[in-house]
Amino acid sequence: MELRHLRYFVAVADEKNITRAAERLNIAQPPLSRQIQQLEEELGVVLIEKGSRPLRLTEAGRFFHAHAQELLDKAQDLKAMTRRVGKIERKLSIGFVASTLYGLLPEIVRRFRDRYQTVEISFHELTTIDQLKALKEGTIDVGFGRLKGEDAAIRRIVLREEPLIVALPVGHRLTQQPGPLRMSELMDDPLIVYPKTPRPSFADQVLATFRERMLVPRQVIEVRELQIAIGLVGAGQGIAIVPDSLQGMIRTDVVYRPIDDRQAVSPIIFSARAMDRSQELADMLAIIYEIYEERHIAYVPEAL
């Protein structure tokens, strides 16, 4: 059995259709069917139920699918890591969700640059889900995102649970109220959430925060990105729930207020390829925890 067989089988299982799988793999359909047949013969088990449309996996097929995907991810990881080890120059490519840029990310990178001047750093703004893909493809080496999730090919560390705050248009009645706001006080205004796609996203995290408290916002407006959400708040179209670090985005038409609920948080998650134990990643993590300590920011102790 070769990696090619795993790749072919995973494509067929994902697409549930031989024609679409062949297109995805850029090969003709008859050789693809032959390879799947060979694989079943070699394993001595049926992986795909005969005659099913769309194609359905047998129990053995489902088992094989899950593990084949894991092996393919590991092979990809191995390729990216070996290339990296073989390169003389030191590089670190960082994926980040926009909100982290208004928080500690610039300071972390400044400190890293000062300390490790020979490492070439590049940046890619990516949603958490796109970061996972970019890590597997080797486009980025580390991602800073906000969605929790399981993926055997990715090492994920929850750095901290960042408080959520509310962004209100200047002059809004709630800006006059002293003290933190309760979530139940935020029901009357349209709620602007981002990003619209891909899902799940930070938008779902915010909507879940309301749902968990049995609260239903009057109207939800989904927008493409953070800057648009804040711009619309400034224009008086509604309110937005955002991470605390957004206070770094200073606008004269938006007022930020804390929320009176310790559970209203959004995690900041470090993601890297599971096998990647490079010095650059260790140095970056050390700087992050150093800054948390200096600023007395509550963080989740690294669970390694």
- Residue ranges that bind ligand BEZ, judged by CB under 6 A: 100, 103-105, 108, 144, 159-160, 245, 268, 288
Closest CB to ligand BEZ among 71 and 129? Answer: 129
CB of residue 58 to ligand BEZ, shortest distance in Å: 44
CB of residue 105 to ligand BEZ, shortest distance in Å: 4
Closest CB to ligand BEZ among 35 and 201? Answer: 201
Characterize the bridge pairing of strands 254-258 and 154-169.
antiparallel
Does residue 97 contact residue 268 with C-beta atoms inside 8 Å? Answer: no
Does residue 160 contact residue 267 with C-beta atoms inside 8 Å? Answer: yes
CB of residue 224 to ligand BEZ, shortest distance in Å: 21
Name the phi and psi angles at 206, rounded to 5: -65, -45
Closest CB to ligand BEZ among 145 and 217? Answer: 145
Closest CB to ligand BEZ among 40 and 244? Answer: 244
Closest CB to ligand BEZ among 100 and 131? Answer: 100
Euclidean distance between CA atoms 40 and 58, whole angstroms:
12
Euclidean distance between CA atoms 16 and 252, whole angstroms:
53
CB of residue 161 to ligand BEZ, shortest distance in Å: 10
CB of residue 256 to ligand BEZ, shortest distance in Å: 16
Question: What is the full DSSP assignment across 112-131?
Answer: HHHH-TTEEEEEEE--HHHH
296 burial type by CB count under 10 A (0-12 exposed, 13-18 middle, 19+ buried) = exposed
